[in-house]
Amino acid sequence: MPAFHTIDDLGDLTGKTALVRVDFNVPMEGGRITDDTRLRVALPTIRDLCAKGAKVALLAHFDRPKGKRAPTMSLAPVAGPLSELLGAHVAFADDCVGEAAKSTIAALGPGQVVLLENVRFHPGEEENDSQFAAALAQEGDLYVNDAFSAAHRAHASTEGLAHLLPAYAGRSMQRELVALDLALGAPKRPVVGIVGGSKVSTKLDLLQNLVAKLDTLAIGGGMANTFLYAMGHPVGESLCEKDLADTARDIIAEAGRKSCEILLPIDVVCADALGPGVETATRDIGDVRPSDKIFDAGSKSAARLNAAIDLAHTVIWNGPLGVFEIPPFDAATVSVARHTAERVKSAGLIAVAGGGDTVAALHAAGVADDFSFVSTAGGAFLEWMEGKALPGVEALRPR
Q: Annotated catalytic sites, by residue?
A: 38, 199, 356, 379
**Stretch of 86-94, 229-237, 274-282, 354-362 lying at the interface with Mg ion (CB under 5 A):** 354-362
378 binds Mg ion (CB under 5 A): no
355 binds ligand ADP (CB under 6 A): yes
Q: 3-state DSSP call for residue 89? A: coil
* CB-based contact 145:167 (threshold 8 Å): yes
386 binds ligand ADP (CB under 6 A): no
**Stretch of 119-127, 134-142, 204-212, 351-359 lying at the interface with ligand ADP (CB under 6 A):** 351-359
Q: Which pairing describes strands 28-29 and 32-33: parallel, antiparallel, or unpaired? A: antiparallel
| Residue number, 63 or 357, with CB nearest to Mg ion | 357
148 binds ligand ADP (CB under 6 A): no
Q: Indicate the residue type of 292.
A: D
Pure H helices in the chain: 37-51, 76-86, 98-106, 123-126, 130-137, 171-180, 204-211, 221-230, 245-257, 299-310, 331-347, 356-364, 379-385, 391-394
298 binds ligand ADP (CB under 6 A): no
198 binds ligand ADP (CB under 6 A): yes
**Stretch of 7-15, 41-49, 282-290, 355-363 lying at the interface with Mg ion (CB under 5 A):** 355-363
Look at residue 201 and give the partner it binds from ligand ADP, Mg ion, none, a contact being a CB closer than 5 to 8 Å depending on partner kind: none
Q: How far is the CB of 208 from Mg ion (least distance, A)?
A: 19
250 binds Mg ion (CB under 5 A): no
| Residue number, 113 or 235, with CB nearest to ligand ADP | 235
**Stretch of 89-97, 140-148, 247-255, 314-322 lying at the interface with ligand ADP (CB under 6 A):** 314-322
* CB-based contact 18:70 (threshold 8 Å): no
Look at residue 265 and give the partner it binds from ligand ADP, Mg ion, none, a contact being a CB closer than 5 to 8 Å depending on partner kind: none
Report the distance separating Cα 315 and Cα 189, nearest Å. 9
* CB-based contact 61:32 (threshold 8 Å): no
C-alpha distances (whole Å) from 363 to each of 212, 290, 323, 369 are 30, 34, 15, 8
Q: Which pairing describes strands 293-297 and 267-271: parallel, antiparallel, or unpaired? A: antiparallel
**DSSP class of residue 297?**
E
Q: How far is the CB of 223 from ligand ADP (least distance, A)?
A: 8
222 binds ligand ADP (CB under 6 A): yes
379 binds Mg ion (CB under 5 A): no
**DSSP class of residue 160?**
G
What is the contact surface with ligand ADP in residues (CB under 6 A)? 196-198, 202, 221-222, 239, 294-295, 318-320, 322-323, 325, 355-358
